[in-house]
A = this chain, B = another copy of it.
Amino acid sequence: MVEYNTENLDATFAALADPTRRAILEKLAEGEQSVSELAMPFDMSLAAVSKHIQLLTRANLVSQHKKGRVRQCRLEPEAFEAAVNWIEHYRDFWAEKFTALEAFLENEVKKSDMKPKQGKRKK
Q: Are B22 and A101 in contact (CB under 8 A)?
A: no
Q: Copies per complex?
A: 2
Give the residue of B67, B74, B77, B101 whose beta carbon is less than 8 angstroms from that of A91: B77
Judging by beta carbons under 8 Å apart, are A122 and B84 in contact?
Answer: no
Cβ-based interface call for A111 (8 A): no
A45 to B87, CA, bound (A): 27
A63-116 interface with B by 8 A CB criterion: 67-68, 74-75, 77, 80-81, 83-84, 86-88, 90-91, 93-95, 97-98, 101, 105, 112, 116
A93 → chain B, closest Cβ, in Å? 6
Closest Cβ–Cβ distance, residue A95 to chain B (whole Å)? 8
Least CB separation from A95: chain B residue: B77
Task: Knowing A10-B19, A14-B13, A14-B17 are in contact, say whether A29-B87 is a contact too (CB < 8 A).
Answer: no
